């Protein structure tokens, strides 16, 4: 027992604010376009494994929700028009529900996780939110065991045929008002594995989604950013 | 590894398998089907056996011609390891393993219509599939005071989906039935027709935490077909990637095991150390799961001298810290009381089910793909393979602990002797309809990937057998006889991926 106390005291405090952690130089964040350099060759569109790149009216559009941040588009671009930035705060809010949630929930949020068909990458990053470094509870946010106790569902993975019913039933079981967050490229776009007999699509093909968090998987800091955005607690600090 | 291929008519499969197993010297490692009607005019059922003799690997290819009845003799009565493979073949191809004791659906659930087989070539991905209304009978134990506890597929924690049905007498588990494949994404079908390099990104996403191992298996298979030689530096960096993957998994898993007994300080320390390792991963590759490092023909990016130093420093700190954590666990009687003799997987059951990886080594099976069938640069490094015989939760924990220490040593050796030069080579074109397979050791055990190329460097058939595939049925052997509160602990000690299994 004494050894245990010694170890705890020796380790000290390790908790960080979510965006005080370093973003390493090799980190592959948002892909941005230098428009003047783009020659419309569309090599990047063909190279993209998830179909995240489209040319609409001759303009290159990157769908962050479908991007897996692999960097293939940047490699094949002969004109150096594309580049990664260190930006990981890519979560986007949809609809009007968020304000309502804020007025009811104030500064606390209880989350229920649903794996709708993920590779477990996003799930492990959500687990990491509970480690002492990110310590999600410092923001008044916690994971709960039942949808009956939840204010938000965090959905990971493409919705598989075998889980569509479980996802719909879990949503039904969650009391109003409720938020749904689609975590990672699979849940946000449903495109990562292409067309398959076993896949129904993105989370929003089964339940309405309020927040989309891109990434493959999103790093824990990106998840916390998404959560604080949903709670309207960023105070205009970012974006 | 050396391998031999034997082509036989399906009717003689059982006899051929008996000979191939060589009185149990060779174990059934994988079994799968392939629709080769467009190429050869028949269905094929493959059974791969591996052993320590010469050749190391024996493949049986059993042929079912189009005009014959679509069936083959089941191997399950001979070897229990065949049970799930044959159910899967039955689900996806509609080939009937006659004599199989349990042909309930496995991969496709009762929502799938009867008589539609998605992995046949005449099933197109855009075909509409109506909702099926089948039944999934679950065996139950009858008797006074016996009751059932259904759990899942959505669980109470941050965890993947699976359905468990416990038959209980009081707190004691009498029987455990697991219904899985909820996260079945049909990846094997979805990659058919894709160019080989494009499918790599899907391979990398079969499973989050076995990303390097799965990608390595795939890359090896493609490189074998293409006859490409990966440069030495690339091989060394691949070993580095694989060992970093094992390290963060094992360290995290030992922390998670503490959660199974409610030892919060252990959970905190384990997850803190895992976080340090994952941040190291992100510094090296830009991704916390090491995605994007392994590529066809080598690795995608090199490491700098600063990075090598960073790895060394981080690992020195983490291994010291980790040893302290293990010291806390080794001397904690309350902890040891919960893990010793809990969830025993007997040696013979592990052999019969073809169990691999940590679970096998904890039950006394001395096997490790890195040593037995060396790949990448593993021949160049010395490391020991820990084997325990008690087969309980404790044994699986100590195997992980010992392996993590060995992994850190291997990383040290890689950094000390990293050859200079290229880390990547270009791939020559792949001959149409050539086949290859590869085994690698993931943190959970051996991952087998089998590939058949199509025209113009595309995929004709891709089969993935992850470490979790043979290990899942072992859980239903280890759990009965224990109390239900110990089940999460037993489950965690096996550390089974659902995503790898379901694909």
Give me the DSSP letters along A94-143.
Answer: -SSHHHHHHHHHTT-EEEEEEESS--SHHHHHHHHTTSTTT-GGGGTEEE
Position A107 scores a pLDDT of: 72
Instruction: Write down the H helix ranges in B122-194.
Output: 187-190
Could you give the angle at the alpha carbon of A131 between the alpha carbons of A126 and A136, nearest 5°?
A: 65
Q: Per-residue confidence at B280, pLDDT binned at 50, 70, 90?
A: very high
* Greatest C-alpha distance within chain B: 71
Phi, psi of B223 (to 5 degrees): -65, -35
Are A158 and B497 an interchain contact pair (Cβ–Cβ within 8 Å)? no
Taking contacts as CB-CB distances below 8 angstroms, the residues of chain A near B499 are: 118-120
Taking contacts as CB-CB distances below 8 angstroms, the residues of chain A near B186 are: 193, 196-199
> Residue A11 and residue A5: Cα distance in Å, rounded?
10
A129: left (phi over 0), alpha (psi -120 to 50) or beta: alpha
Position B478 scores a pLDDT of: 92
* Helix (H) / strand (E) containing B339: helix B333-339
* Helix (H) / strand (E) containing A59: strand A59-62
Q: Work out whether the CA dihedral B267, B270, B274, B276 comes out positive or negative.
A: positive
Position B53 scores a pLDDT of: 83
* Helix (H) / strand (E) containing B440: strand B435-442
Q: Per-residue confidence at B110, pLDDT binned at 50, 70, 90?
A: confident
Mean pLDDT computed over B83-112: 91
pLDDT at position B399 over 90? yes
Query: In Å, how far are A99, B215, B218, B274, B429 from B293, measured between CA atoms?
Result: 42, 9, 13, 19, 22
Strand pairing of B163-169 and B172-179?
Answer: antiparallel
For the domain made up of B187-297+311-494, give the CATH fold. Answer: Cytochrome-c3 Hydrogenase; chain B (1.10.645)
Q: Which of B183, B324, B328 has its CB closest to that of A118?
A: B183
> Residue B388 and residue B436: Cα distance in Å, rounded?
33
SS3 label, residue A43: helix
Strand pairing of A179-183 and A152-156?
Answer: parallel
Position A155 scores a pLDDT of: 95
> Residue A121 and residue A182: Cα distance in Å, rounded?
14
Give the distance from CA A205 to its chain's centroid.
17
CB pairs under 8 A between A and B: 186
Taking contacts as CB-CB distances below 8 angstroms, the residues of chain B near A181 are: none
Half-sphere exposure of B341 (CA within 13 A, CB side): 3
> Does residue B157 belong to the interface with chain A, where contact is any CB pair within 8 Å?
yes
| Chain A: closest CA distance from residue B23 (Å) | 38
Name which residue leads in pLDDT, B133 or A113: A113
Are A123 and B159 an interchain contact pair (Cβ–Cβ within 8 Å)? yes
State which residues of chain A have pLDDT below 70: 96-104, 106, 235-239
- Around Cβ A172, how many Cβ atoms within 10 Å? 9
Give the CA-trace dihedral at B477, B340, B254, A14, to 10 degrees. Answer: 140
pLDDT tens string B288-320: 999 999 999 999 999 999 999 999 999 999 999
pLDDT tens string B379-388: 999 999 999 9
Position B129 scores a pLDDT of: 87
pLDDT tens string A108-163: 889 999 999 999 999 999 999 999 999 999 988 999 999 999 989 999 999 999 99
Phi, psi of B422 (to 5 degrees): -70, 150
DSSP B481: T
> Residue B417 and residue B414: Cα distance in Å, rounded?
5
- Does the N-terminal peptide bond of residue A177 adopt cis geometry, omega within 30 degrees of 0? yes
pLDDT at position B243 over 80? yes
Nearest alpha-carbon partner for B75 in B2, B15, B120, B4: B15
Average per-residue pLDDT in chain B? 91
Beta bridge partners of B459: B453
For chain B, the C-alpha Rg in angstroms (whole number) is: 23
Nearest alpha-carbon partner for A157 in A181, A131, A177, A129: A181
Q: For tokens 């090896």, name the residue.
A: B220
Nearest alpha-carbon partner for A152 in A160, A137, A142, A164: A142
> Does residue B240 belong to the interface with chain A, where contact is any CB pair within 8 Å?
no
* Helix (H) / strand (E) containing B90: helix B82-93
- Asked if residue A171 lies in contact with residue A180, where contact means CB atoms within 8 angstroms, the answer is yes
Tokens found for residue B429: 């074109």
Give the distance from CA B236 to its chain's centroid.
23
pTM: 0.92
Are B183 and A4 an interchain contact pair (Cβ–Cβ within 8 Å)? no
Architecture of domain B1-137: 2-Layer Sandwich (3.30)
* Helix (H) / strand (E) containing B472: helix B468-478
pLDDT tens string B162-195: 999 999 988 899 899 989 999 999 999 999 999 9
> Residue B284 and residue B244: Cα distance in Å, rounded?
11
For every residue of A142-158, DSSP letters joined together read: EE-S-GGG-SEEEEES-
Position A97 scores a pLDDT of: 61
- Around Cβ B88, how many Cβ atoms within 10 Å? 22
Q: For tokens 């973003």, name the residue.
A: A23
Domain spans of chain A, in order of start: 31-84, 92-237
Give the CA-trace dihedral at B226, B232, B238, B243, to 10 degrees. Answer: 140
Query: In Å, how far are A115, A142, B420 from A154, measured between CA atoms?
Result: 8, 12, 46
Burial A207-218, CB ≥16 within 10 A → b, else e: bebbbbbbbbbb
| Chain B: closest CA distance from residue A67 (Å) | 12
Mean pLDDT computed over B355-362: 94
- Around Cβ A114, how many Cβ atoms within 10 Å? 30
Are B190 and A68 an interchain contact pair (Cβ–Cβ within 8 Å)? no
Phi, psi of B371 (to 5 degrees): -95, -40
Tokens found for residue A9: 């005291």
Taking contacts as CB-CB distances below 8 angstroms, the residues of chain A near B161 are: 115, 163, 166
> Does residue B205 belong to the interface with chain A, where contact is any CB pair within 8 Å?
yes
Q: At what angle do helices B232-260 and B393-416 cross, to 10 degrees?
A: 150
Determine what percent of chain B is predicted with pLDDT higher than 90: 67
Lowest mean pLDDT segment, chosen from A95-104, B59-68, B181-190, B272-281: A95-104
Beta bridge partners of B35: B43
> Residue A118 and residue B422: Cα distance in Å, rounded?
35
Q: At what angle do helices B393-416 and B305-330 cross, to 10 degrees?
A: 160
Give the distance from CA B490 to its chain's centroid.
18
| Chain A: closest CA distance from residue B257 (Å) | 14
Are A131 and B206 an interchain contact pair (Cβ–Cβ within 8 Å)? no
Q: Which of A113, A127, A160 has its CB closest to that of B185?
A: A160
> Residue B1 and residue B54: Cα distance in Å, rounded?
10
- Does the N-terminal peptide bond of residue A187 adopt cis geometry, omega within 30 degrees of 0? no
Q: For tokens 């009965």, name the residue.
A: B480
Q: Which residues of B, range 332-371, sit inside 8 Å of A by Cβ?
A: 332
Tokens found for residue B34: 């392939």
> Residue B286 and residue A48: Cα distance in Å, rounded?
18
Could you give the angle at the alpha carbon of A82 between the alpha carbons of B206 and A192, nearest 5°?
A: 20
Position A41 scores a pLDDT of: 85
> Does residue B398 belong to the interface with chain A, where contact is any CB pair within 8 Å?
no
Domain spans of chain B, in order of start: 1-137, 146-179, 187-297+311-494
Beta bridge partners of B438: B449
pLDDT tens string B114-125: 888 999 999 988
Domain A92-237 maps to which CATH number in 3.30.70.1290, 3.40.50.12280, 3.40.50.300, 1.20.120.1200? 3.40.50.12280
For the domain made up of A31-84, give the CATH fold. Answer: Alpha-Beta Plaits (3.30.70)
> Residue B80 and residue B500: Cα distance in Å, rounded?
21
DSSP B433: T
Taking contacts as CB-CB distances below 8 angstroms, the residues of chain B near A126 are: 158
| Chain B: closest CA distance from residue A168 (Å) | 12
């Amino acid at each position: 027992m004494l050894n245990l106390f010694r170890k705890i005291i020796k380790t000290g405090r390790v908790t960080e604010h979510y965006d005080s952690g370093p973003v390493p130089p090799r980190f592959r964040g948002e892909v941005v376009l230098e428009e003047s350099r783009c020659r419309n060759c569309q090599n990047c569109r063909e190279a993209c494994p998830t179909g995240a790149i489209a040319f609409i009216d001759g303009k290159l559009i990157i769908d962050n929700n479908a991007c897996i941040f692999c960097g293939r588009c940047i490699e094949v671009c002969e004109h150096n028009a594309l580049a990664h930035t260190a930006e990981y705060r890519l979560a986007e809010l949809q609809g009007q529900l968020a304000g309502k949630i804020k007025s009811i929930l104030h500064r606390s949020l209880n989350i229920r996780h649903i794996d709708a068909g993920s590779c477990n990458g996003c799930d492990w990053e959500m687990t990491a939110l509970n480690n002492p470094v990110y310590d999600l509870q410092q923001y008044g946010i916690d994971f709960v065991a039942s949808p009956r106790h939840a204010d938000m569902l965090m959905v990971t993975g493409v919705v598989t045929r075998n889980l569509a019913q479980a996802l719909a039933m879990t949503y039904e079981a969650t009391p109003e008002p409720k938020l749904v967050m689609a975590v990672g490229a699979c849940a946000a776009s449903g495109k990562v594995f292409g067309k398959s007999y076993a896949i129904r699509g993105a989370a929003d093909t089964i339940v309405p989604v309020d927040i989309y968090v891109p990434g493959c998987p999103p790093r824990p800091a990106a998840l916390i950013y998404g959560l604080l955005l949903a709670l309207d607690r960023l105070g205009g600090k970012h974006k | 590894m050396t391998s031999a291929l034997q082509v036989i008519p399906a009717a003689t499969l059982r006899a051929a398998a008996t000979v191939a197993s060589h009185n149990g010297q060779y174990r059934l490692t994988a079994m799968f089907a392939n629709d080769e009607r467009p190429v050869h005019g028949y269905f094929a059922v493959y059974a791969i056996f591996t052993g320590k003799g010469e050749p190391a690997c024996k493949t049986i290819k059993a042929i079912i011609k189009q005009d014959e009845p679509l069936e083959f003799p089941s191997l399950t009565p001979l070897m229990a390891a065949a049970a799930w493979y044959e159910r899967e073949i039955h689900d996806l191809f509609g080939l009937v393993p006659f004599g199989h004791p349990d042909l309930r659906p496995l991969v496709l659930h009762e929502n799938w219509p009867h008589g539609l087989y998605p992995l046949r070539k005449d099933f197109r991905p855009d075909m509409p599939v109506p909702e099926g209304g089948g039944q999934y009978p679950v065996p139950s134990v009858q008797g006074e005071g016996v009751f059932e506890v259904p759990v899942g597929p959505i669980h109470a924690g941050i965890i993947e989906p699976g359905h468990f049905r416990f038959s209980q007498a009081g707190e004691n588990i009498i029987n455990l039935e697991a219904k899985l494949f909820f996260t079945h994404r049909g990846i094997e079908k979805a990659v058919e027709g894709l160019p080989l390099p494009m499918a790599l990104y899907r391979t990398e996403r079969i499973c989050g935490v076995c990303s390097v191992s799965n990608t390595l298996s795939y890359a090896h298979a493609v490189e074998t077909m293409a006859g490409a030689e990966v440069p030495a530096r690339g091989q060394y960096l691949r070993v580095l990637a694989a060992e970093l993957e094992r390290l963060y998994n094992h360290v995290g898993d030992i922390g998670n095991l503490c959660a199974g007994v409610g030892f919060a300080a252990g959970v905190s320390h384990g997850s803190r150390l895992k976080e340090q390792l994952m941040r190291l991963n992100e510094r090296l590759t830009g991704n916390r799961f090491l995605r994007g490092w392994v590529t066809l023909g080598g690795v995608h990016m090199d490491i700098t001298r600063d990075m090598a130093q960073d790895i060394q420093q981080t690992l020195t700190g983490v291994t010291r810290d980790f040893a302290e954590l293990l010291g806390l666990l080794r001397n904690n009687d309350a902890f040891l009381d919960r893990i010793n003799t809990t969830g025993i997987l007997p040696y013979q059951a592990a052999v019969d089910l073809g169990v691999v990886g940590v679970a096998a080594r904890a039950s006394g099976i001395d096997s490790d793909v890195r040593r037995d069938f060396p790949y990448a640069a593993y021949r160049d490094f010395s490391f020991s393979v820990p084997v325990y015989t008690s087969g309980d939760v404790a044994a699986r924990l100590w195997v992980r602990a010992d392996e993590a220490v060995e992994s850190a040593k291997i990383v040290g050796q890689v950094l000390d002797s990293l050859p200079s030069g290229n880390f990547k080579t270009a791939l020559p074109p792949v001959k149409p309809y050539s086949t290859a397979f590869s085994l690698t050791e993931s943190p959970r055990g051996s991952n087998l990937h089998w590939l058949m190329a199509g025209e113009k460097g595309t995929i004709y058939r891709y089969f993935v057998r992850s470490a979790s595939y043979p290990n899942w049925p072992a859980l239903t052997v280890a759990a009965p006889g224990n109390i239900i509160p110990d089940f999460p602990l037993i489950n965690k000690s096996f550390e089974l991926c659902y995503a790898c299994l379901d694909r």
